[in-house]
Structure 1
């Protein structure tokens, strides 16, 4: 009798545990974009605080319901004809990335920084993978159609999650000058498996925000520069090494000793500047398209 009761309790416990696990899987599937994106609405600073000339930019993008929502960004004109379209990571907003933009501007780039919908002053609801890709395309259209900048003058730069956005846009815009990714990852699945808490969940079944950089690389047709801090504790540097080995386009990899996830450009300093200049030489070997008049 006692054995029968214990078995009954055991089966009940297993059933309750399985039900709880299943509910957690469903919850992760439904809210995973809220686990990935960490937007901030408050702009902590502006380019003016770094003594940079700039203008506020508003870019319309149509949502899935047909309504026009506006992206907010900063256009920081530079001294050369090269333009850099900057995509920030999953946290904060464009104001958190001004240090990087300043260093890139010092290399002569004109820089367009945008906030995805749901970040900073940009309109719209909480972002998803599909929506940030649409935001990136809208920013590209703004540069090429409204400002009349030739595709081969535009470099795409992405930090962390922004690297996935830059790679996706580079595949859809194969005439861009090149793509630079800073401390980015192979895929969201690999990032989930890197986090101990998510290793017990069936990522292949419940993941709907995939950001699969590794699979997309086979479609890339423009030069690729990969940057990664060796002390990055959020995204392992080995992921950039895997991306580098998988890419079949002209490519460079810079691993920066002592740099973490958010301070690579500051730590790399002149070494970063040198590598970017070398990368520009590679990109300039491509034929240029005329400016749109």
Structure 2
């Protein structure tokens, strides 16, 4: 076997490897949303499974091409007269049907809950979701509460779980008059999540990434009370990311770390303490709002 043959073989292998690497980079660039969003069309559970009264709500969204698509949502009114309203922004998996159980916990705390599905999820119309699209969908849900249902912004709490936490942070920055923000089991950014999953480190992530969900750069602009919740045994999103978000956020802020809880079971593991922490946070916000109104009425 000649040196020339070995050299040609090495060049061929290098060329093939380089081509495969470029193809992989292009695939990650154009298909990265498929690694982030995992929607399902079929809804397995409705609020009726928890004996909750609810209404089907369809929210129109105008696309860049002026086409109108509709978001499917559930409006679950509080059982007794209440000013508490929660905009519930779910994570990247399945659809609103997988979030009814947790939404019912907030309902038991006295909230009316709006639970929307992003476009591409459940019965909502639209193509496969993207970062800009879910931000727009959250804004449409907010507008429905404020403009259609005439709910004052300072009575609306924004809640987001996992990827929904990033959507909630983005919306909260844009809507500083909201009552408060609750972010559960969420991450600092997609780039940090990619670095956490070491398999992707061989790729030039900074160049390829366009679905960023860069919460760590946004959270410092929050102008409302925020509560971060995270399970310390979360293997999908490390609790250290909520700690980083907490440290970057301005006051007033709180963090509730649940020992031994994973990504989706903080409320189950924490039990009554989960309700106590959330209720205390909400009550503090409400008391502060009352104090501000009284101060304004006295003309201070």
Instruction: Sort the TM-score into its range (normalised by shorter chain).
Output: over 0.9
Write the deviation string for residues 36-61 of structure 1: whole angstroms up to 9, x where unpaired: 11001111011111101111111111
The answer for the alignment partner of 2:37 in structure 1 is 37
In 2, the alpha carbon distance for the partners of 1:179 and 1:172 equals 12
The answer for the alignment partner of 1:146 in structure 2 is 148
Asked if 1:200 is matched to 2:202, the reply is yes
The answer for the alignment partner of 1:83 in structure 2 is 85
The answer for the alignment partner of 2:248 in structure 1 is 246
Report if the CA contact (8 A) 1:223-1:282 is conserved: no
In 2, the alpha carbon distance for the partners of 1:92 and 1:71 equals 15
Write the deviation string for residues 32-87 of structure 1: whole angstroms up to 9, x where unpaired: 11111100111101111110111111111111110111101111111321100001
User: Shift of residue 224 of structure 1?
Assistant: 1.0
In 1, the alpha carbon distance for the partners of 2:65 and 2:251 equals 38
Report if the CA contact (8 A) 2:221-2:249 is conserved: no
The DSSP-based 3-state class of the residue aligned with 1:34 is helix
User: Shift of residue 282 of structure 1?
Assistant: 3.2
The answer for the alignment partner of 1:22 in structure 2 is 22
User: Shift of residue 119 of structure 1?
Assistant: 0.5
The answer for the alignment partner of 1:291 in structure 2 is none
Paired residues for 1:183-222 under 5 Å: 183-222=185-224
One of 181, 203, 208 as aligned partner of 2:183: 181
The answer for the alignment partner of 2:112 in structure 1 is 110
Write the deviation string for residues 186-231 of structure 1: whole angstroms up to 9, x where unpaired: 0000011111221111110000100000011121111111000111
Structure 2-normalised TM-score?
0.93
The DSSP-based 3-state class of the residue aligned with 1:86 is strand
The answer for the alignment partner of 1:134 in structure 2 is 136
Asked if 1:161 is matched to 2:171, the reply is no
In structure 2, list runs of 5 or more residues that go unmatched. Answer: 294-300
Paired residues for 1:247-262 under 5 Å: 247-262=249-264
In 2, the alpha carbon distance for the partners of 1:241 and 1:38 equals 26
The answer for the alignment partner of 2:296 in structure 1 is none
Q: Which has the higher contact order (CA 8 A, sep 6+)?
A: 1
RMSD of Structure 2 on Structure 1 (CA): 1.1
Write the deviation string for residues 262-284 of structure 1: whole angstroms up to 9, x where unpaired: 11112222111111122113322
Report if the CA contact (8 A) 2:118-2:137 is conserved: yes
The answer for the alignment partner of 2:63 in structure 1 is 63
Moved over 6 A (4+): none
User: Shift of residue 99 of structure 1?
Assistant: 1.1
In 2, the alpha carbon distance for the partners of 1:222 and 1:200 equals 39
Structure 1-normalised TM-score?
0.96
In 1, the alpha carbon distance for the partners of 2:222 and 2:283 equals 19
The DSSP-based 3-state class of the residue aligned with 2:206 is helix
In 2, the alpha carbon distance for the partners of 1:240 and 1:167 equals 12
The DSSP-based 3-state class of the residue aligned with 1:59 is strand
The answer for the alignment partner of 1:276 in structure 2 is 278
271-280 vs 67-76, which moves further? 271-280
Give aligned pairs, total: 288
47-56 vs 259-268, which moves further? 259-268
The DSSP-based 3-state class of the residue aligned with 2:61 is strand
